[in-house]
A and B are shown apart, each in its own frame.
Chain A
Amino acid sequence: MTEDDINSLDPDVQWIVAEARRPVTMDVAGRERLMEAVRAEAQPGRGALEWMFSRRTFEIPPFAAAALAAGLVGIGVVSGLLFHRDGQQADRPRAEVAEIPQLPGSIAPRAVKFVLIAPQAARVSVVGDFNGWDVSADPMTTQGADGTWTIFVPMQPGLHTYSFVVDGTHFMPDPAAPMAPDDGYGHKSSVVLVGGSSL
């Protein structure tokens, strides 16, 4: 018997496990609604805007991207701050977010640049409601030895919550952005408004 074996559990907890394993009955119409929604979708991987959501589209050199953001848009830049919201001096990585419109129109997706300075990190990713909080969905890349990690993420206009994940497990909010309400999982996250005039 291993520590993982259900038989090693307290009998009362075993009963809870047994009950929780029972199948649940769902409204059959829910599955029909799902397939209706699926049939209304474009074929996966063949959408007209696929190029926009391809990660390689946004592999732009950081300085060129920053110049593009400043020159063409001039908005939406939230600079990395030296101070946290509580006024304490930052002794940990700082971050900034810039956004670049890819298409005209208020509903066009935007490429949002996330930047985190984390010299000690072995890997960094950005997670949020835009990628299902998937740690592996949007890995950030770094060039040089200054520990600046960047990524461009295509995002729909609107309010989004996000966080950085350092070395796969350490969630950290963006020290330069407003904090989001507690998500109930102990992860502090930040808020970015895409396509808006201010935060």
Chain B
Amino acid sequence: MSSDAADVQRVLNGDVDAFSRLVDRYYERCARFAVRMLGNRDDAEDALQATFLRAYRSLGKYQERDKFSAWLYRILVNQCRSLAARRNQRDRVFVREEALLLNAPDRSPSWTGEDEEFVQRVLAELDPLLREAFLLKYVEEMSYEEMSTLTGVGVSALKMRVKRACDRLRARWERIKDD
């Protein structure tokens, strides 16, 4: 039995601290995906909270034959999708307020420099489907088969999304050089 599966069993037997170990094991990796996918830490934290809480509530359904990380990631990806969809709706409603904030400085204490900000911006310019596929492939280093299982999308469609994402990122970079 893997350490993940053992901790899941401990949680189901009433040991909540075992879930803390699962959180410690996967929080940072999930946080990276959520931040890259959603573009800011506030939304990413919401996604993480929702992901781990949903995982906790659903632990009874977790099948040991599945990798816990893949099971958790499927929840995370879906939570990011739901949150992004809600954010799109919210952004349409509060477009005027957002316009006022466009020039406001980022006061997040965890901002680490221009490179991160630049990467976030070019990723944010990608269509969400392309961004998701690109991040799963090259940042989370999943195989196309793993991505297909996780998203329910066929391998060939995922390869196309990743290729388009790379093409658009390269084109964006070229425009920046020209500027």
Partner of A34, one of B52, B59, B143, B169: B52
Q: Are B153 and A184 in contact (CB under 8 A)?
A: no
Could you say which of B118, B119, B143 has the most chain A C-beta atoms within 10 Å of its C-beta? Answer: B119
A41-B56, A135-B152, A186-B129 in contact; A24/B88 too (CB < 8 A)? no
A44-B12, A44-B56 in contact; A21/B152 too (CB < 8 A)? no
Residue of A nearest to B118 (CB): A19
Q: Are B138 and A17 in contact (CB under 8 A)?
A: yes
Q: Are A16 and B169 in contact (CB under 8 A)?
A: yes
Residues of the A chain whose Cβ atoms lie less than 8 Å from the Cβ of B27: 26, 31
Partner of B32, one of A4, A23, A169: A23
Residues of the A chain whose Cβ atoms lie less than 8 Å from the Cβ of B85: 161, 181, 183-185
Interface size on B, residues (CB 8 A): 64
A24-B32, A31-B27 in contact; A13/B170 too (CB < 8 A)? yes
Q: Are B53 and A38 in contact (CB under 8 A)?
A: yes
Q: Are B88 and A20 in contact (CB under 8 A)?
A: no
Interface SS majority for chain A: loop
Residues of the A chain whose Cβ atoms lie less than 8 Å from the Cβ of B116: 19, 22
Q: Are A133 and B81 in contact (CB under 8 A)?
A: yes
Flag A149-186 by CB within 8 Å of B: 1 or 0 each.
00000000000010001001100000000000111111
Complexed CA–CA distance, A165 and B84 (Å) = 20
A44-B60, A133-B81, A183-B85 in contact; A13/B31 too (CB < 8 A)? no
Q: Are B154 and A19 in contact (CB under 8 A)?
A: no
Which positions in B face A, CB cutoff 8 Å? 11-12, 14, 16, 19-20, 23, 27-28, 31-32, 35-36, 41, 44-45, 48-49, 52-54, 56-61, 74-75, 78-79, 81-82, 84-85, 88-89, 92, 109-110, 112, 115-116, 118-119, 122-123, 127-129, 135, 137-139, 143-144, 152-154, 157, 166, 169-170, 173
